[in-house]
Structure 1
């Protein structure tokens, strides 16, 4: 695993995921396991020679198949994996796991040259199959900490890993991370291709983590991953829930279906303990739906009566907040803090803390409780930089890049800005194409209600017309401006680089600039063509060109040296606010 890998292909990333040594399993053993667990497999050809074929890996993408692999052929949106059986066989696939439609295709193309294991629920069966091949079980390790919810998953997993690091490092143990931004094993990292990898890659990663001496890992678990069975066969020491707000309805169809997808993570069969934030009705419902050991956490000013842990004594600091965690039954109190701005980051930090406090000791994870408490009170584990999550790029004006890309996340981000800003709030937003379009007018309305100067630009249009996406945002913004007599400036500027430049042009030192929606991402997708742009770099560059100071860990640009000799008063760009 290499930390300097800026962009790996799918095949290269898969190679990095693979452990060096695999116990493996035979086709006969795999069929027996699938039979035992109720998948009712049909295997052809049948015979001793076929059954004894060893399987030493698993792959779902034909580009990633290697010698000895089980090729898992599933139906996709545009094609079936079975259509690529010739490619998989040429790469060394030893057997195929597929559904009825795939089996028919494979027998036609491949004849009976390799074993075909046919099941009805192939995506679901992929996880247990890979688990057998890579030697994973509910007790094999590493200890997994999974986080799901609409907003806050990434930050909470970074907080989790930081706290686990603070405790485990003193015992010579390392931690891992699986999420939207990166996958990490100890000090080594690679960029992520998706929030949660496919099941076959996750099980490969578990074996790699063990091989690398990783004791515990924090993992984002998206609703897509749960719906598409990417976490099948994994078992979590603790699973945490942040919140549920409108997003991904293009996949789930309704909030009820979205809730059901998230709730599947908190079944006793998948996790030992669940920690649920119960700040609203969705959280309370999730706590009721969860089975097994359930811990309720309240982080709002009016905590639910059923909460086990509550957040109290929240105090805003120049950057971040301090707060107290109190256990209602025992009376235990733990003083904590986070260096990230916003009340929602207090919630994220509290969730991470309670998840580690709730972790049950296993053979892989031995975390003395008092060491966790000491780390919370003295090691400041939640004062870390999370790429693209309320990441401070400039100081005067305050200039922040955040991943907020749905209505609730926008509200939280803008509330955080309002709590510290002395001047006006300047917001750049867009929306992704081919995603939940119903949220666009809502986001536009929220923007003009809560920001003083709103610049609507592009995010990732994908295959959709960018002007149509912007029109949805503008519709909501203009309606709110007209109907509510709001005093805000609204502009439409594209490309995004021009929008960023404009935001800095109109800013004064006491203002706050927020670039929302893209966070850590470094490309925009226009109809399949990637256009390089990193909000963090472009914001830092624009600030330095105007002579504004940047944060100590802001990206270095060509203007950094020149910025030393400039001050905000040297700028000639226009500022101020017009109604």
Structure 2
């Protein structure tokens, strides 16, 4: 639906799949909008009281009613009920919101071949490559990713990896209205736990890998694993579940899924198999299911991404050779091993979103695979604030292990003191590596220093923020684009 079209539906039509504890107030209510923000509530609105990590939406029920909300969906009823308001008490407000949002927008996922991609690393690349591939094959296709949302050719900025259930179903409905037949989306672990994808019907799911991340939210690695696995457990039997057989949790993801179980691998027997022939600065040379193919992407991790996308496309019914022909010409998502080359000094800058230990290790290993012995690797890296602190010393240690020089700096410190974050990172630097490490809290100065240290032909890796065009400090986002800053520093320093 377009944003100008207004939907009006009876409340009862939205509750068919909702587990209800109790209902109070008028039953013949017409609903014209859904919201989880009490300040947006108005007559004809349903307000969902969600329990979040920082705030509890139940605290804002009175405000929503004061604003004129016609319906309140909550887990605990307020002490005083407004006589003109309908209250729907449920065991889980987020779950109810997912079902009601899907119903409100006409269950758009049922009109699409919707593919979800989950895992720690590679989600954005896989979703973006699959979206590009399907479009090249002639399909009208939507994309929901960390970098951007896209309805065929229309680009919509993204604020979350996976939007909330209301926004998600609205975007899917707009895709259907625009004539899309397919949609590719990243599925974050937060989204699974928070029921954002609960009421969607997927045609397939892809698992990339699982490594240390988001323990600040999930508490334990086991909880994180269960969140990822929850996506596959919810897939219908009509869908496919495509998992990385080379990841030690790859087969765990498939254990209880009702979907068709499929695998991909570079190292063992699988539904889709590839052999790495060459990984070079000009791209990957793979043999995929017996077909010799050159790709423009670099790195073993991208060999896995390409194989996952190939497998998904074939499972969707596409012809293997045609898929490989199109894939061979595609580039990755912005900020994913993105080169910035200085023609004058032949210094190669690489901007990458690597913000987990595994992602950083993969990028550094890729650089090690393609570098010449004479090339020095200089890495600029930081860690985000108000996020999992356990990975900070690990990432600093990995940077030292894979680089000749390291500049530790700020990422998005958010509400943490950048110096505290850097102190935790420094704890991962071994005594023998201290001489090659600089700590510069100002990210712009850190990148400038790295470029200044680079000699002809050297490689400067700027890791952590990738596609992001801002830096978040004390709740304020200011313009900051690693790729632009790197380019500016090449010019400023005459590189």
Fold match by TM threshold 0.5: yes
Unaligned runs of at least 5 residues, structure 1: 1-16, 327-332, 360-366, 549-579
Deviation for aligned residue 1:25? 3.0
What is the TM-score when the length of structure 2 is the normalising length?
Answer: 0.93
Q: Give the conservation status (yes or no) of the 8 Å contact 1:41–1:119.
A: yes
Aligned length: 489
Pick the aligned partner of 2:283 from 320, 328, 340. Answer: 320
Q: Which residue of 2 aligns with 1:297?
A: 264
SS in 2 for 1:104: coil
Q: Give the conservation status (yes or no) of the 8 Å contact 1:246–1:408.
A: yes
Q: Which residue of 1 aligns with 2:489?
A: 542
Q: Give the conservation status (yes or no) of the 8 Å contact 1:25–1:132.
A: no
Deviation for aligned residue 1:420? 1.8
Q: Deviations over 1:62-116 (max 9, x none)?
A: 355465332212123343324334554566533121111xx216x45xx222211
Deviation for aligned residue 1:166? 1.2
SS in 2 for 1:415: helix
SS in 1 for 2:115: strand
Q: Which residue of 2 aligns with 1:157?
A: 127
SS in 1 for 2:341: strand
Correspondence 1:43 to 2:23: yes
Partners of 2:275 and 2:43 in 1: CA distance: 56
Q: Report the CA distance shift for 1:221/1:26 in structure 2 as closer, same or farther (over 3 A).
A: same
Partners of 1:514 and 1:505 in 2: CA distance: 13
SS in 2 for 1:315: strand
Q: Give the conservation status (yes or no) of the 8 Å contact 1:156–1:351.
A: yes
Q: Give the conservation status (yes or no) of the 8 Å contact 2:462–2:482.
A: yes
Partners of 1:156 and 1:65 in 2: CA distance: 37
Q: Give the conservation status (yes or no) of the 8 Å contact 1:180–1:196.
A: yes
Correspondence 1:240 to 2:206: yes
Partners of 1:56 and 1:516 in 2: CA distance: 44
Q: Give the conservation status (yes or no) of the 8 Å contact 1:151–1:243.
A: yes
Partners of 2:243 and 2:218 in 1: CA distance: 21
Q: Give the conservation status (yes or no) of the 8 Å contact 1:504–1:543.
A: yes
Q: Give the conservation status (yes or no) of the 8 Å contact 2:35–2:45.
A: yes
Deviation for aligned residue 1:179? 1.2
Question: Which residues of 2 match residues 162-561 of structure 1 at below 5 A?
Answer: 162-167=132-137, 169=138, 173-267=139-233, 269-270=235-236, 272-299=239-266, 302-303=267-268, 305=269, 307-326=270-289, 333-359=290-316, 369-370=318-319, 373-377=321-325, 379-380=326-327, 383-395=330-342, 396-422=346-372, 423-477=375-429, 480=430, 482=431, 485-486=432-433, 489-548=436-495
Q: Deviations over 1:262-298 (max 9, x none)?
A: 0011125457111001113211322334332010111
Q: Give the conservation status (yes or no) of the 8 Å contact 1:62–1:85.
A: yes
User: Which segment is superposed worse, 125-134 or 309-318?
Assistant: 309-318
Q: Report the CA distance shift for 1:27/1:41 in structure 2 as closer, same or farther (over 3 A).
A: farther
Q: Give the conservation status (yes or no) of the 8 Å contact 1:393–1:400.
A: yes
Q: Report the CA distance shift for 1:394/1:64 in structure 2 as closer, same or farther (over 3 A).
A: farther
Deviation for aligned residue 1:213? 1.1
Partners of 1:496 and 1:275 in 2: CA distance: 39
Deviation for aligned residue 1:121? 1.1
Q: Give the conservation status (yes or no) of the 8 Å contact 1:399–1:513.
A: yes
Partners of 2:279 and 2:14 in 1: CA distance: 55
Correspondence 1:147 to 2:117: yes
Q: Which residue of 2 aligns with 1:362?
A: none
Q: Which residue of 2 aligns with 1:10?
A: none
Partners of 1:286 and 1:522 in 2: CA distance: 34
Deviation for aligned residue 1:202? 1.0
Pick the aligned partner of 1:134 from 86, 90, 105. Answer: 105
Deviation for aligned residue 1:30? 2.9
What is the TM-score when the length of structure 1 is the normalising length?
Answer: 0.80
SS in 1 for 2:132: helix
Partners of 2:412 and 2:329 in 1: CA distance: 30
Q: Report the CA distance shift for 1:448/1:313 in structure 2 as closer, same or farther (over 3 A).
A: closer
Partners of 2:198 and 2:217 in 1: CA distance: 19
Pick the aligned partner of 1:52 from 28, 31, 35. Answer: 28
Q: Which residue of 1 aligns with 2:51?
A: 75
Q: CA RMSD in A?
A: 2.2
SS in 2 for 1:283: coil
User: Which segment is superposed worse, 84-93 or 511-520?
Assistant: 84-93
Correspondence 1:104 to 2:81: no
Q: Which residue of 2 aligns with 1:3?
A: none
Partners of 1:541 and 1:131 in 2: CA distance: 46
User: Which segment is superposed worse, 241-250 or 265-274?
Assistant: 265-274
Q: Give the conservation status (yes or no) of the 8 Å contact 1:523–1:533.
A: yes
Deviation for aligned residue 1:256? 1.4
Partners of 1:292 and 1:40 in 2: CA distance: 28
Q: Give the conservation status (yes or no) of the 8 Å contact 1:414–1:450.
A: yes
